[in-house]
C-alpha cells in the first residue's frame, strides 16, 4: 500500500509540473492589407492576407484583380512564405518566397469586319522578394 501511495504521489507531482505553462501574450494571428496605390495608378485591387505562424514567420496570399478598362481581364494570386528579421513580432525586414499564378484574357476587336476573338493565357512562376513590414501600435478592429 505504501508503494502505491508513493507511486501516486510521484505521478501527480509529475503531472502537475507538466500541466503548468507560461502565459502566452495575446499577439495577433492574422494581417489583412488592401493597397490603395494600385487603385490610383492601375485601377486594380491588391489585397493581401497573412497568417502569422510565429514571431519570425508567416504564410499568406496576395491577390490582384484588375477593375479598369486596361486591366479588367487580369487576375493574379500569389501564395507566399515570409521569414522576418525584425526585433518586433512578425514585422521589420523580411525575405519571402512566392509562386504567382496569373490569368489574362486577351480580346481583339476589328472594326471593319466586326470580328471578335479572345484567348486566355495562364502563367505561373517562382520568385523571391525582399521587403519591410511595419505595424501600427494600435490595431483597427471591425465589429
The domain ranges of the chain are 27-133
Contact by Cβ (8 Å): 119, 106: yes
**Alpha-carbon separation of residue 37 from 66, 71, 103, 111 (angstroms):** 13, 15, 21, 35
DSSP assignment, residue 16? H
Residue 73, C-alpha cell as written in the block: 481581364
Question: 73 pLDDT band (50/70/90 cuts)?
Answer: confident
- Residue 78 contacts residue 61 (beta carbons within 8 Å): yes
Q: Which helix (H) or strand (E) holds 36?
A: helix 36-41
**CB within 8 A of 55, min separation 6: which ones?**
27, 84, 89, 90
Q: What distance in Å separates the CA atoms of residue 44 and residue 38, rounded to the nearest whole number?
A: 5
Question: In percent, how much of the chain has pLDDT > 90?
Answer: 27
Q: Provide the sign of the torsion angle of the four alpha carbons 24, 143, 133, 52, taken in this order.
A: positive
pLDDT surpassing 90 at residue 118 = no
pTM: 0.67
Q: Please, how many CA atoms are within 13 Å of residue 28, restricted to the half-sphere of its CB?
A: 18
For cell 514567420, the residue is: 57
Q: Which of 71-80, 101-110, 114-123 has the highest mean pLDDT?
A: 71-80
CA–CA separation, 4 and 38 (whole Å): 71
Amino acid at each position: 500500500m505504501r508503494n502505491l501511495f508513493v507511486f501516486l504521489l510521484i505521478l501527480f507531482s509529475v503531472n502537475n509540473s507538466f500541466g503548468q505553462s507560461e502565459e502566452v501574450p495575446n499577439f495577433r494571428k492574422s494581417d489583412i492589407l488592401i493597397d490603395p496605390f494600385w487603385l490610383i495608378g492601375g485601377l486594380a485591387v491588391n489585397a493581401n492576407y497573412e497568417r502569422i505562424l510565429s514571431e519570425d514567420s508567416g504564410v499568406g496570399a496576395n491577390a490582384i484583380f484588375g477593375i479598369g478598362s486596361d486591366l479588367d481581364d487580369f487576375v493574379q494570386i500569389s501564395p507566399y512564405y515570409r521569414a522576418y528579421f525584425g526585433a518586433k513580432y512578425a514585422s521589420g525586414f523580411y525575405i519571402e518566397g512566392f509562386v504567382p499564378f496569373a490569368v489574362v484574357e486577351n480580346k481583339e476587336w476589328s472594326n471593319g469586319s466586326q470580328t471578335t476573338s479572345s484567348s486566355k493565357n495562364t502563367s505561373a512562376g517562382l520568385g523571391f522578394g525582399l521587403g519591410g513590414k511595419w505595424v501600427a501600435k494600435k490595431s483597427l478592429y471591425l465589429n
